Chain A
Amino acid sequence: MHKSSRQKLLRIAAIATALLAASVAQAAEVVVDQLNKTFVIEGNKVEAISINVGDTLRFRNDDPFFHNIFSLSDLKTFDLGSFPQGQSKTVTFDKAGTVEVECAIHPEMYMEVTVK
């Protein structure tokens, strides 16, 4: 391989790595706890949250009974199934808009996710 082309390649690789690192840093993961049949982020009860396209919500069950988080919103339809205390499941939001997130077992658990 030519020295110049190898340098070029290295440069491309460096840029690609930098881009990847940037995108990883940008896409945040937010932990949403299920506690006392409410959605809780960092200790505060939430009914609405705003995140960026590409961000991930990690739903973690802190209650001694099962929850089953889902959404039937057109933007992002999902059913995480039921999971017990201590377990968590993630959803990545890849399109901008609004998603209504609910627990199938406990419909009082409701949260609106605005994806920007």
Chain B
Amino acid sequence: MKTHSTLTRKLLLIACLGASATGAQAAEDYSSFLRPAEIPQPDNNRITSARVELGKMLFFDPRLSGSNWISCGTCHNPTLGWSDGLPTAIGHDMQVLKRATPTILNTAYQPLQFWDGRARTLEEQAIGPIKAAGEMNQDMDELIKELSALKGYRDAFEDAYPGEGITENTIAKALATYERTIVSTESPFDRWVKGETHAMSKEAQEGFEVFLGKGRCVLCHSGFNFTDNGFHNLGLKNDDDPGRYGIRKIKILKGAFKTPTLRDVALTAPYMHNGAYKTLEEVVDHYDRGGDTKDNLSPNMQPLHLSASEKASLVAFMKALTGEPAPVSLPRLPTE
């Protein structure tokens, strides 16, 4: 009896293994890489069309800067993957800044904002660059005065935040709301995950396997937004930026920066927090070497020994994360 039941169990096990082996790719559940149904949004600042419209006006209005010349959209340019195509940002008075302009695609899904994660909310983030001397160099009182002088803005604020007036808080909330609507669209990869077997090329599918396995990419670039929302030192050459260590004085965070999304990554060159690499191929080579500066390297990094075809497939996979361009309509800014 006993032997019999053991045998049955063994047979069952073999049957199960057989089933999973033949089911292979198609049966694999990659739904954790699909976009959650809802855009995360705080209870005190729900997304409404009036708020999105106001936020969009503010986002594209150069009068938000001290020079009246730089808008949020100057650096977060929707035609350049919501970034600027530059190695590092150019701010007030043509200053070249230390860090690259991150895309604002899918920031709604990030628990911490900025390369070093110093802002806990998009509302807090939105105000940072406006006031920063090196970026938009704006005096908040001055800005509130300028906006309050325009009937178009007075009405738009009243529609979006009735009775709350034009304040730093409502400016932040409107900008954050607009940013929350800037989300990635369906990419060939998403269609492939949903079962369209030919949506992604064979090479890109191979690249996804390298991404999950030998390439070790998924250790940090995980989930729908392809980020662990974590901080890692990637061992970039000639970089003395303390990164996250400026916020949390823990050794491992020296030179560590937030894992960026890989959604639409083909559109946001140059790459890395300091714009060190012009192409995705260069980025893959960096990881394949296991980084360059090793004194505080992320322990997740190690030489990968990828073949030329594995590297090429990884790049093909990353390119398959580009969604159809979402239409962006530009607002007419109030002049009176």
A and B bind: yes
A-B contact count (CB 8 A): 47
A105 touches B231 (CB 8 A): yes
Q: Are A105 and B251 in contact (CB under 8 A)?
A: no
Q: Once the chains bind, are A107 and B252 in contact (CB under 8 Å)?
A: no
Partner of A104, one of B111, B252, B300: B252
Q: Is the CB of B228 within 8 A of A107?
A: no
B220 partner residues in chain A, CB cutoff 8 A = 65
A106's partner among B228, B249, B299 (CB-CB below 8 A) is B228
* Chain B residues whose CB sits within 8 angstroms of the CB of A37 once the complex forms: 228, 230
Interface residues of A in 52-86 (CB under 8 A from B): 64-66, 68, 70, 72, 79, 81-82, 84
- Enumerate chain A residues within 8 angstroms of B111, measured Cβ to Cβ: 107-108
Chain A interface, DSSP helix/strand/loop, else mixed: loop
- The 8 A CB mask of B224-262 against A (1 = contact, 0 = none) is 000011111000000000001000111111001000000
Which of A64, A79, A104 has the most chain B CB atoms inside 10 A of its CB?
A104
B300 surroundings in chain A (CB, below 8 A): 65-66
For residue A105, give the distance in angstroms from its CB to the closest CB of chain B.
5
A104→B299 contact, CB < 8 A: no
Q: B253, A104: Cβ atoms under 8 Å?
A: yes
Query: Considering residues B111, B250, B256, which has the most beta carbons from chain A within 10 angstroms of its beta carbon?
Result: B250
Query: With A and B bound together, what is the CA distance between A86 and B249 in angstroms?
Result: 26
Interface status of B112 (Cβ within 8 A of chain A): yes
Interface string of B89-120 (1 = CB under 8 A from A): 00000000000000000000001100001000
A70 contact set on B, CB distance < 8 A: 250
What CA separation (Å) do A107 and B259 show in the bound complex? 12
Interface residues of A in 21-37 (CB under 8 A from B): 37
Q: Which residues of B contact A107 (CB under 8 A)?
A: 111-112, 117, 229-231, 248
Q: Which residues of A contact B219 (CB under 8 A)?
A: 64-65
Complex contacts, A68 vs chain B, CB 8 Å: 250, 252
CA distance A66 to B231 in the complex (A): 11
How far does the Cβ of B256 sit from chain A's closest Cβ, in whole Å? Answer: 8
Residue among A65, A72, A81, A108 making CB contact with B251, cutoff 8 Å: A81
Neighbour of A79 across the interface among B117, B251, B298, CB < 8 A:
B251
Q: In chain A, what residue has the closest Cβ to B244?
A: A104
A104 touches B231 (CB 8 A): yes
Q: Contact string, B159-175, partner A, CB cutoff 8 A, digits 1/0?
A: 00000000000000000
Residues of A within 8 A of B253 (CB): 104
CA distance A43 to B229 in the complex (A): 23
Listed A/B pairs (8) with beta-carbon separation below 8 Å:
A66-B299, A82-B252, A104-B250, A107-B117, A107-B230, A107-B231, A107-B248, A108-B111
The interface of chain B, by Cβ under 8 A from chain A, is 111-112, 117, 219-220, 228-232, 244, 248-253, 256, 298-300
Chain A contacts to B: CB under 8 angstroms? 37, 64-66, 68, 70, 72, 79, 81-82, 84, 104-108
What 16 new A-B contacts, CB under 8 Å, besides A79-B250, A104-B250?
Answer: A37-B228, A65-B219, A65-B228, A66-B300, A68-B250, A70-B250, A81-B251, A82-B299, A104-B248, A104-B253, A105-B228, A105-B230, A105-B256, A106-B228, A106-B229, A108-B229
